[in-house]
Amino acid sequence: MRLFMPRLLLVAGCATLLLSVSGCASLDLFSPKQAEAPAAGSDQELMSQAEAAFALKHYDEGRKHLQRLINNFPESELVPIARMNVGRTYFDEKRFDEARAEYQRFIELFPQHEQLDEAQYYIGLSYFRQMEKVDRDQTMTNNAAREFRTLVNDFRHSQFAPDAQAKLAECYRQLVQRELYVGKFYFHREAYGAAIPRFESMLKEYHGSEYDDQALYYLGESLWELEQKAPAKTAFQRLIAEFPDSDMAPLAAKRIGMTFVQGPRSRKPPAGFLSGALDSMSDAFTELQDAILDSSIWQSPTTTTP
């Protein structure tokens, strides 16, 4: 009996130990394993990470997140937005060449996207921000004008169209100033043959600009100096007829021996306007005078006899 009890306790302890070990093994066997998140994250997570980086102006870091999104999720609906954001960050950093490349790639990849007009606008604006002064090369000005024309013509109802139209006018103004600058440069050096095409280009390509009168005058003078009197006279006569208020008009008239009296700069009121206004004022004063005289303060006080 004394030997039996210790043996029984030993067997019970072993059984308990085996049960505990098998229980732990069964728990490990049936407990669900945690799913491992992808290293790059989802497309939404990558977009959020990029936006957070851009908010801190960490542009390179943000673009890396977007590039992972584009590479790992090429079918995601966020890919066009990612490409637009890459272009915009380059633009914000004034890296205009890279910005244009991204916007151009966006247009090529997504020709029906609803943000196509925005991409077109920023291509033009990137050229616009790189425009040189009038006495420098105008390649960027010409490129900006071309891109803004495309936007205005192809996306007339775009929210970007009004600003594109205004900036297109600025481009044209600078281009015509450039032609005038070069034309006058040749003119003052008596290179009249080189000056004439510049003034003719102003009148043909940028007709209606504020510099038409100067173009006509210098064109006429250049032709006159080259003994081409007939076309020179035509240019002078056109200047006098179309721009009688210009400072150039009396000079043109003098050149062709024409008596010319320049009128005042301000427009005169239409015939009958001034006399009508004076008549109205006269009638008003008459009515006012009658009203005052009829007032009791101008009447003699009535005297009462005692």
**Band of residue 51 on the pLDDT scale cut at 50, 70, 90:** very high
Question: How does the average pLDDT of the chain come out, rounded?
Answer: 82
Q: What percent of the chain has pLDDT over 90?
A: 70
Question: Above 90 in pLDDT, residue 226?
Answer: yes
Q: What is the mean pLDDT of residues 94-121?
A: 97
Q: What is the pTM of this model?
A: 0.71
* pLDDT reported for residue 265: 55
From the centroid of its chain, how far is CA 181?
Answer: 26
Q: Which of 148-157, 172-181, 296-305 has the lowest mean pLDDT?
A: 296-305
Superfamily of domain 190-262: Tetratricopeptide repeat domain (1.25.40.10)
* pLDDT reported for residue 258: 82
Tens of pLDDT, residue by residue over 249-280, are 999 999 999 876 666 654 444 444 334 444 44
Question: Above 60 in pLDDT, residue 281?
Answer: no
* pLDDT reported for residue 246: 95
* pLDDT reported for residue 28: 44
Question: Above 80 in pLDDT, residue 87?
Answer: yes
* pLDDT reported for residue 43: 94
Tens of pLDDT, residue by residue over 178-224, are 999 999 999 999 999 999 999 999 999 999 999 999 999 999 999 99
Q: What percent of the chain has pLDDT over 70?
A: 72
Who has greater pLDDT, 248 or 287? Answer: 248
* pLDDT reported for residue 286: 46
